[in-house]
Structure formats: C-alpha cells, structure tokens
Structure 1
C-alpha cells in the first residue's frame, strides 16, 4: 500500500469529488468547505486546500465563495475515458443539427433523474444552464421516457412512487405516474417519444433510446426545438434519430458512412 503524502492527498481529493458528484446527482443541497469537512470527517484547513487544488484543475467549481459543484474539467476527464459510443456521440449530435436544424442531446438515467451527457454545439453555450451533468426529471422529458422505454407498468410506477410531481415541468407535464404511463402507452406504437411543452414552455422534444449490442437501453438521443419547428415533422425527425441511435449502439460513426 502506498502511504506517501501524495497518495493520501489523492485519496482525500477523490473522496471530496465523489461527495460533490453524488450530492449534485441526487439533487441534494450543495456544500461549502466546512460542510464538506464535517461530512467527510476531515480537517477543515485540509479540505480548503484540496478543494482549491480541485478547482484549479477544473474538477470542481465554486462561484462567489458559494457551495462546490462539479466542474467542466471533471466531464472532460470522463470523456477521455470513453473509447466507444460516447466518443462518437459528439459527431452524431452535430450531424443531427445539420440535418434537422434542431438542438440535440445524449442523456443517461440515474433513478428517476436524467443526466445530460452531451449536448450539440447550438445547445450548450457558454453561460447556459444546458451543460453536461444537468439533471432533469425522467417523467416529463422526451429523453427521460426514452430511457424508460423497456419498463413494464409495474416497474415504471414503482420507480416514480416517491416522486413529487407538483410544480415540476411545463404545461404539458404529467402530474402522476399514471398520466406518465399514458404518455408511454401513446408513444409505444409509433416507436418514439414526443414531449410537447412537458418540461419547457414552447419546446417539443423528440427522443429514441440508444441500445447496446445486446438490445438493452444504454442512453437516449433527442432533439429539441420550438413547437412550430417540430410539429408536423416529428415522424421524419424520429427516423433520422433512429438511424443515429442505431449507429451509436453498434459503434458505427455517422461520418464514416
């Protein structure tokens, strides 16, 4: 076992990052230095030094001495570790932008939350709230329901059993697990999800699942735009999405076709 000071600092730094990531994923209150120290049973001055180093590396970020959250460097580092479909997804997103004129996203699921993995260049602008790691509800987003595509009703309702639907989403959002399941049942026959003003006013999202080679749902692929830009062409857009999802699931990059 490596007992050097460097190894100790690395282990403690990783504990801090893991705690910040877990709290942000779970939607819990974010923490400052003293709270992190108490939560991890670490000396406050050491936490202060390590968090400063983590911020310098971009793994964490802190605005105006507020609580810590995951930094852009964390996602850049994670991206370098992905050598399969995630690596290829960026090119597919830009191809979708070119072919549909809409914004495009790849998302994954954490329980009843959707985590944005990648966004197209016209969707993830500097200063925008749309950034990798953004968390949205699974029940009132197209990307979320595409991630639940293979769930049967019992498992679907069990997943949403403790969800508070009140005040979440746009005017088209479901307000119960039963209403959310009705939307799933509506979309199943046509093979893609359409979420009209379910999360954002005036925005329609079309989504499909990305499947791994064994057929399991790996992630979701979606495009978003104003209702006038999507309504009337959802089926056409879904066909383009399905082709991109199939390429990502099989590992065949769009630009190589």
Structure 2
C-alpha cells in the first residue's frame, strides 16, 4: 500500500471512530456496518474492513455482530494525551470565562485547518456544532491566525496555496492570502489576534499563541463574544497572554 492509500485509510478510519464516539457521547442509537456506510457515504465492504481493523486495535468494540461502540484502547489513548498543558487548559478556560465573561477555547493546527481541543463549559449547548474535534479554517478564525503567528509571507502563501476563499467565513473574513497577510501584520503590531466577524457573524474572537519553553507554538488560546461584551481588546489580551504563559509551562508536566 502506498503512502497516499495509507493516509486515505487512516482518514476514513478516523471518520468512523469519530462518528461512533459522537453518537455514544450524545446517547444516540449505535450503528452497525451498513448504517455507518450510509452515514459516511462509504462502500459497505470498506467500512466492514476498516471497522474490523479498528476492533483489532481496540479502538472500537462489537458484541455478537451488534452495533459498534468505543473500545478501551480509545479511552487509554485519550487518557495518555490528557496531561500537561492539555489537562491544565480546563482550569484556564474556566478562569477566562470568570474573568472576561466570554467563551474560551484551546485549539491546535492541522495544516490550514484548526482543531478544537478543549472549550469552556459555556461554549456549547445541546445540539451545537461546538465540540472537541471541531474543524474550522485557520485563515478566518482568531484561533487559527494565532497559530499562524510565526509564518513569514512565503510560508503563509505555501500553506494556503490550495485554499478556496469563496463562500467561507463571515463578513470580516479575508478573501485572499494577501488579505490574510495584511491582517497578520496588523495584529502582530498589536500583540494579539483580533478577528472581528471573520468566521461567525457578530462574533469577535481574540487569540494568542501558546508556546513551549523553546518558543515553538503548541496551540492557541482564544475568547469569543459580541463586540460590546468582550470589552477592550488590550485588557482581554493581557489576560489571555498570562493564561497562555501558564499553559506553556505545563508542556512536559504529567
């Protein structure tokens, strides 16, 4: 199997795991092979093979050819990752809610996509799309642009070369890589990312990078709210920076 085929199988396997986990977490009916194939628009034979491999790995489990549920290996892996700055983020996010009265998020970058790792308890309601694993664009979110903080223009242009800007983001979103660069230059001068209606209408997102001891960006920390409710950007950014610095010190904590 070549590398592209391996990557495709991994991506499809992760889609299956994500769907199973999501349905179990929400208390929805669990699914078998044929139902997973329909939900994911995949060939049933491929779903059958991938789910068998996932069961062999312990990421999924199935009793008597019934529906799939999350396997013990998944929980073991999740527990091993819930250390250091990821674990401590829960406390920092709730502290941001208490001090700023906004929603708060911790995110990481996957190419030109942003993956939500943790969010504050006030950031989602039943049925909301906001949940760990949520994917958003890097170029039109505060969290995403904070993750691009260290990019020079050639690196940014290379990263966003295949991006289609049409129809994505809110009224303040950039529509070209040049516009993304201009926003980055503006915000670096201020010391924090200020994304006004770049992704969601009427929502302002302030964000800063979380760095390790060597200065490399681990994640981004952001708060979201309406313009009137989020208060002066500089004051909120100072609170964000302090929280990000604390998280960075937990990089190697167990």
CA distance 1:194–1:79, shift in 2 (3 Å): farther
TM-score (norm 2): 0.75
Question: Where does residue 206 of structure 1 map in the other structure?
Answer: 206
CA contact (8 A) 2:93 2:120 kept: yes
Q: Which moved more, 1:119-128 or 1:180-189?
A: 119-128
CA distance 1:80–1:48, shift in 2 (3 Å): closer
Distance 1:236 1:152 in 2: 27
Query: How far 1:20 moved relative to its partner?
Result: 3.4
Runs of at least 5 residues in structure 2 that lack an aligned partner in the other structure: 1-7, 19-35
SS at match of 2:229: helix
SS at match of 2:89: helix
In the TM superposition, what whole-angstrom CA distance separates every residue of 1:85-120 from its partner, at most 9, and x where no partner exists? 101000000000000000000000000000000000
Distance 2:222 2:61 in 1: 36
Q: Equivalent residues in 2 for 1:203-242 (5 A)?
A: 203-230=203-230, 232-242=231-241
Question: Where does residue 86 of structure 2 map in the other structure?
Answer: 86
Runs of at least 5 residues in structure 1 that lack an aligned partner in the other structure: 1-14, 26-30, 60-72, 253-257
The RMSD of aligned alpha carbons is 3.2
Distance 2:189 2:238 in 1: 14
Distance 1:109 1:207 in 2: 14
Selected match of 2:37 from 17, 29, 32: 32
Question: Where does residue 242 of structure 2 map in the other structure?
Answer: 243
In the TM superposition, what whole-angstrom CA distance separates every residue of 1:160-192 from its partner, at most 9, and x where no partner exists? 010000000000000000000000000011110
CA contact (8 A) 1:169 1:200 kept: yes
TM-score (norm 1): 0.75
Matched, 1:20 2:10: no
Question: Where does residue 69 of structure 2 map in the other structure?
Answer: 56
Distance 2:96 2:50 in 1: 49
Query: How far 1:78 moved relative to its partner?
Result: 1.8
Distance 1:58 1:224 in 2: 34
Distance 2:245 2:144 in 1: 18
In the TM superposition, what whole-angstrom CA distance separates every residue of 1:193-232 from its partner, at most 9, and x where no partner exists? 00000000000000000001110000000000012212x5
Aligned length: 218
